[in-house]
Every structure is written in structure tokens, then in C-alpha cells.
């Protein structure tokens, strides 16, 4: 009778432990989803500001249409990747878009009549603020992904993760090209 009670207590403790592990993994999975959702909101806000910036710049930058078109193409690719849930595709498209934005900002700096335009300055200020917020959220997202991925590979969590089909999440990474500074000499042919 006592051994039966001991075995039942051990079984109950094991079930409680497995439930705690499972709930921890669920919390991590939803933390990753929440972190992505926060990035998604900021990306949408930035994407909403881009057409305004491009339209305002078009009035002044007839010679820079190629740069503006590349930014809008990258914006479209990023939207498509985001809607498809393709984190890697979002990273690639966002990298191209940030590179194009850098070119636009460099052009604004080089031309006093653009730099003095209040609409452009407001839009650039808004986009710069969004860029900083995206960078912060990207860091938080990648940390959430890292914690999730480590947990589902560690024992004993790996047993519960495999049993219930928990999957590794994908880091949001940008291309090496996106991380480099804009080359003003190439941009303006100096």
C-alpha cells in the first residue's frame, strides 16, 4: 500500500513537472510571436510613411527616380514576405529598403533645398524614429528566438518539445550589404 502511494506520488510529480515544462515552452513560443508582432507593427508604420517620403522627394529629385523606385520595390517585397511569414525574406527585403532609405537620406543631406523642406524633414524624422524602434525590437525578437531555440534543444525540455511539435524559430537577420554605410562618392559621382 505504501509503495503504491509512493509510485502514485512520483507519477503525479512527474506529470506536474511535464506540465510546467510544457507551459514554459508555450510561453516562449508566444513570446516569440509577440516580439514578431511588435516588429510587424513598426514595419507597417514605416511602410506607410515611405510613399509619403517618396512622393515628396519626387517633387525635388527627378534625377533620383531609380533610388526611389528601388525603395518602393523593396517595400513591396518586404510586404509580401511579411504576409507569407517568411522571416528570412523579410530580412532581405528590409535590408534592401534600408539601403535605399540611406541613399535618400544622403541625397537630402547633399541638397540644401531638400534639407530645408519641412515635409521631408518631418518624414525623415518619423522614419528615423521608426528605424531605431525597429532595431530595438529586432534585438528583442532575436533574443526571444534564441531563448526559445535553446530551451527546445535542452534536456528535458527537448522531450516535451518533440512530443508536442515545438519548432525552432528563425532569427531576423539583415544582409551584410544593409549593414554597411552608404557610399556618398558613388551616390553622387564625386
pLDDT per position as a tens digit, 25-69: 999 999 998 998 888 888 888 778 777 777 776 666 654 667 777
Give the per-residue pLDDT at 68.
Answer: 72
Q: Whole-prediction pTM value?
A: 0.61
Here the cell at position 143 is 533574443
Asked if residues 94 and 110 have their Cβ atoms less than 8 Å apart, the reply is no
Residue 39: cis peptide before it, omega within 30 degrees of 0: no
pLDDT in tens, 114-165: 666 677 777 778 878 888 888 888 889 889 999 999 999 999 999 999 999 9
Strand, helix or coil for residue 55: helix
Tell me which residue has cell 526559445.
148
More confident residue, 9 or 55: 9
Q: Which domains does the chain have, with CATH numbers?
A: 2-188 (1.20.1440.20)
Would you call 181 helix, strand, or coil by DSSP?
coil
Give the confidence band of 190 by pLDDT, cuts at 50, 70, 90: very low
CA distances for 145 relative to 19, 57, 87, 96, angstroms: 22, 38, 12, 23
Amino acid at each position: 500500500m505504501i509503495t503504491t502511494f509512493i509510485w502514485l506520488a512520483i507519477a503525479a510529480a512527474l506529470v506536474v513537472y511535464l506540465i510546467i515544462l510544457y507551459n514554459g515552452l508555450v510561453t516562449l513560443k508566444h513570446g516569440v510571436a509577440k516580439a514578431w508582432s511588435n516588429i510587424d507593427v513598426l514595419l507597417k508604420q514605416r511602410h506607410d510613411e515611405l510613399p509619403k517620403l517618396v512622393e515628396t522627394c519626387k517633387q525635388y529629385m527627378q534625377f533620383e527616380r531609380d533610388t526611389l523606385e528601388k525603395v518602393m520595390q523593396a517595400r513591396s517585397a518586404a510586404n509580401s514576405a511579411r504576409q507569407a511569414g517568411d522571416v528570412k525574406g523579410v530580412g532581405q527585403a528590409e535590408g534592401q529598403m534600408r539601403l535605399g532609405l540611406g541613399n535618400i537620406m544622403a541625397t537630402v543631406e547633399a541638397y540644401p533645398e531638400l534639407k530645408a523642406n519641412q515635409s521631408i524633414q518631418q518624414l525623415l524624422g518619423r522614419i528615423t524614429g521608426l528605424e531605431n524602434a525597429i532595431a530595438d525590437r529586432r534585438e528583442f525578437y532575436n533574443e526571444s528566438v534564441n531563448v526559445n531555440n535553446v530551451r527546445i534543444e535542452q534536456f528535458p525540455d527537448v522531450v516535451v518539445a518533440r512530443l508536442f511539435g515545438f519548432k525552432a524559430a528563425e532569427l531576423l537577420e539583415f544582409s551584410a550589404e544593409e549593414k554597411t554605410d552608404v557610399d556618398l562618392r558613388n551616390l553622387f559621382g564625386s
